[in-house]
Structure 1
Amino acid sequence: MSYMNIKKITNFTNQYLPVVILRFMLDFLEIDATQKEPIYRQIMSSVSSAIEDKQIGLGDQLPSVNEIANKFSLSRDSVFKAFNELRANGILESVPGKGYYVSSVNTSTKHKVFLLFNEMNAFKEEMYYQFMDGLGESGSVDIYYHHSNLKVFETLIKENAGSYTEYVVMPIITERARALLNYLPRRKTYIIDIGLEMFSGEYPFLGQDFENDLYRSLHEGWDLIQKYERIELIIAEEYQFITGIWNGLKKFAEEKEISICLKSSLGNNFLEKKTLYLLADDKCLVDIVERAEAQKLVLGEEIGILSYNETPFKRVISGGISTVSTDFGLMGKTLAEMIIERKYEKIINPFKLIRRKSL
């Protein structure tokens, strides 16, 4: 750690600032050579963030080019380039023979956000509109879709790296996808909805804790669930959160001594009485509702349905479908707040059981 004491400094207008004792730490710089983002951009981002977080202020002197280069084993050219671009942007001023000083604390720029979803559906649409509303006039958003295709994911990440102020990514849960995120600036990349275990230790995270969210919701609804003899989870194998949901269901079933099973689809089987169907996909929901009507089974009595993700049509179909769901609208609002206020946190979005006739 390096400190510099400055008792009097002259700014670029040749006026004297008040006498100060300035202790400046190099530790505010965040340089990660493993990232694909150019080093000079990482330096620029670190300086801007330090100003925004009030770690440094107007008139404060930055460490010298040599000091930064030596501390982080960098090329002096990279440090010069960062300082010169900050000077061109009016953030820094150089004083010959003395060094670089903060000449403006107005680093505010419009947020230009890269938003990468797997796909668009009703609840992601709600998230998107609430995010846009929360961001307001402070920024713009370009939205992309990877459709859970790793090649598409790779192309979108590589083609857009360096073009945005922030990156919001609904990831693919693979080590390759994790490596591809190194093309993006770590403190400017937000992981949303899924990927708690894989990504939350490295990036700001806002999303679901699938295992514990489901476990708590099933306990909350036990007064209605206990009339069923078994719970059948129907979820396609490609769903990336399948492990978390299954683990939450297993933990609940062990405590309540209720039978459970996991299927990728219902197939041609008839619905079984005294069974609660836990569904991750809305297509499967429609199929089961139609089969229940064909078999003349009463929802909420002879069989139960509990569907993932709240949408408007579930309020009215078959008298109301019970859901377990995170609040996607709130997720959008919270995401906007995280970006505007530069919050680099791990936030588990609220999750709840909504009781309706089908349970």
Structure 2
Amino acid sequence: MLLDKSEKIAVDSRTPKYLQVVNLILEDIEKGKLKIGDRIPSINETSFDFLLSRDTVEKAYNELRDRGIISSVRGKGFYISSTHMGHKVKVLLLFNKLSSYKKIIYYSIIETLGADATVDLQIHHYNRNLLEDLLESNIGNYNYYVLAPHFFNSLGHPETAYDLITRIPKDKLLIIDRAVKDHENEFPGVYQDFSKDIFEVLESGISHLRKYTRLILVFPKGDLYPVEIMDGFKRFCFFHDFKNLIVDGVDDDEQLDMGDCHIVLAETDLVNIVKKSREQMFKLGRDIGIISYNDTPLKEILAEGITTISTDFQKMGKTIAEQILGIEDRIPIKNQFRMTLRKSL
């Protein structure tokens, strides 16, 4: 009997073991083997029967309790309290802003979760005080919390807000879009590595960059972009001996210099550079180059095609949703970042 039960746990499955326990109990409910009021084995008994750690079984039981499937009676054990299989997982998204790219992530999460979850969205606007208020109002009300940990202090310097983040139960927290600095391996979720991403993606296009005499990163002040982008850019230029410059914008009365390649974060700067290149009769991809952050359909057709570097926001949302559903392992996952080469380079 012991062997039969333990064999039901697939060691090599991508589904975490605690979710396999959850699914086995739900399967018994669906088949009518367990009914409302029936007692299920204790955590210690299930741990022994399935050859699993006590922590794994406790996590499975907490999941079932959060779904309203089981309840505990002190001193007596765990009982089936509902056989309603349509109980939805509740998810709270805590985003730093609602940009067009965050909307792609949001809708990807919604689409992947489907009818299995209800999803609420709150914006913390990079503000740790607002995050604290949101946590005080919502901790305990959701099965999962998906946090974009982008924070800046009053001086505009990045901060981790680690003390606040750890208030969220660890088994219910997933990070999205960026890792928590100095705690990159502590929290599951999907993240960009902004410094490493720009370094590696520029290396992938280095044969196209070599025809330019200087690389210019246009990094706007006050827009709360990840400063790690500048770090990765500087490292790339140093290791590959590129003349380089970092500016905070492109002024209307400023002329472009032939031989420069601009790496642009803001759409307004992209438009300005395209307009100026036309005014100065420069051909994109020959006289000057442009690389724009974050791909959009418009950039595919603007000026015969703008080269972009971008993460896959739809994939990011899909992976987070699959971690919630237990399809994907709940571990830190670096999202793909790639260059889409077009005529502007």
Is the structural similarity TM-score above 0.5? yes
Q: CA deviation at 1:243?
A: 3.2
1:132–1:60 Cα change, 3 Å: same
**In the comparison of the two structures, how many residue pairs are matched?**
298
Residue 61 (structure 1) aligns with: 42
Query: Contact 2:189 / 2:320 at 8 angstroms: preserved in 1?
Result: no
Pairs within 5 Å for 1:3-42 = none
Which consecutive unaligned segments of at least 5 residues does structure 1 have?
Answer: 1-17, 24-48, 65-81
Structure 2 residue aligned with 1:265 = 249
TM-score, normalised via structure 1 length: 0.72
1:183 paired to 2:187: no
2: CA distance between counterparts of 1:177 and 1:320? Answer: 40
Offset at residue 275 of structure 1 (A): 0.6
Residue of 106, 118, 136 corresponding to 1:158: 136
Tell me: CA distance 1:63–1:349, structure 2 relative to 1, closer, same or farther (3 Å). Answer: same
Q: Which amino acid aligns with 1:141?
A: V
TM-score scaled by structure 2? 0.75
Kindly state the Cα deviation for residue 170 of structure 1 after the two structures are TM-superposed: 1.1
For 1:253 and 1:95, how far apart are their aligned partners in 2?
A: 64
Amino acid at match of 1:351: F
Residues 157, 101 of structure 1: alpha-carbon distance in 2 compared, 3 angstrom cutoff? closer
- 2:211 pairs with 1:223: no
More displaced 10-residue stretch of structure 1: 176-185 or 131-140: 176-185
Paired residue type of 1:286: V
SS in 2 for 1:290: helix
Deviation at 1:103, TM superposition (A): 5.1
1:63-114 CA-partner distances (Å, limit 9, x unpaired): 69xxxxxxxxxxxxxxxxx99x959955256597xx4256589797412111
- The 5-angstrom pairing of residues 37-186 of structure 1 reads 52-54=19-21, 59-62=40-43, 89=68, 91-92=70-71, 99-101=76-78, 109-173=87-151, 174-175=158-159, 177-186=161-170
Aligned partners of 2:91 and 2:146 also within 8 Å: yes
Secondary structure (helix, strand or coil) at the match of 1:144 reads: strand
1:329 aligns with 2:314: yes
1:274 and 2:259 are equivalent in the alignment = yes
Mapping 1:304-319, distance limit 5 Å:
304-319=289-304
Worse overlay, 132-141 or 195-204: 195-204
Match of 1:202 in 2: 186
**1:248 correspondence with 2:232:** yes
Q: Could you say what secondary structure the match of 1:54 adopts?
A: helix
Aligned residues of 2:19 and 2:326 also touching (Cα < 8 A) = no
Equivalents in 1 of 2:188, 2:2: separation in Å?
Answer: 38
Q: Aligned ranges for residues 267-306 of structure 1 at < 5 Å?
A: 267=251, 268-306=253-291
Label 1:241 to 1:204 Cα distance change in 2 as closer, same or farther (>3 A).
Answer: farther
Q: Residues 62 and 104 from structure 1, CA distance in 2 versus in 1: closer, same or farther, beyond 3 angstroms?
A: farther
Structure 2 unaligned residues grouped into runs of 5+: 7-15, 26-39, 46-60, 152-157
Per-residue CA shift, 1:285-319, capped at 9, x if unaligned?
11221222222221111111101111111111111
- For residues 153 and 297 of structure 1, the distance between their equivalents in structure 2, rounded to whole angstroms, comes to 47
> Equivalent pairs: percent with the same residue?
30
Task: State the partner residue of 1:347.
Answer: 333
Q: 1:328, 1:207 → 2: CA distance?
A: 10
Bigger radius of gyration:
1
Deviates more, 1:141-150 or 1:101-110: 101-110
- Taking a change above 3 Å as real, the CA distance of residues 231 and 242 of structure 1, as seen in their structure-2 partners, is farther
Which has the higher mean CA deviation after the structures are superposed, 194-203 or 316-325?
194-203
